Amino acid sequence: MSEYDNGHILVSQSCKRLTDAGVKVNLGAHGQLQGLGVHWELWMLAQGGMTNMEALRAGTLNGANYIGMDDHIGSLEEGKLADLIILDKNPLEDIQNSNSVIYTMINGRLYDTETMNEIGNYDKPRRQFYWERDGYSPAFDWHGNAHVGCSCTTGH
Residue 80 lies in a domain: yes
C-alpha distances out from residue 151 to 32, 41, 55, 131, 155, Å: 21, 30, 39, 23, 9
Query: Residue 7 falls within a domain, yes or no?
Result: yes
Query: 71-114, pLDDT tens digit by residue?
Result: 999 999 999 998 899 999 999 999 999 999 999 999 889 999 99
As a whole number, mean pLDDT of residues 117-121 equals: 91
Number of domains in the chain: 1
Tell me, yes or no, whether 65 lies in a domain. yes
Instruction: Tell me if 132 is assigned to some domain.
Output: no
| Residue 13 lies in domain | 2-107
- Looking at every residue in the chain, the average pLDDT score rounds to 85
pTM: 0.76
Torsion 88-94-60-130 (CA) sign: negative
Q: Is 6 a member of any domain? A: yes
Give CA–CA dist 39/34, Å, rounded: 11
For residue 18, is pLDDT > 50?
yes
120 in a domain, yes or no?
A: no
Describe the strand order of the beta sheet including 118-119 as a list of residue ranges. Answer: 84-87, 101-106, 109-112, 118-119
Question: Concatenated DSSP letters for 86-112?
Answer: EESS-TTT-GGGGG-EEEEEETTEEEE
Q: Is residue 155 part of a domain?
A: no
Q: Is residue 154 part of a domain?
A: no
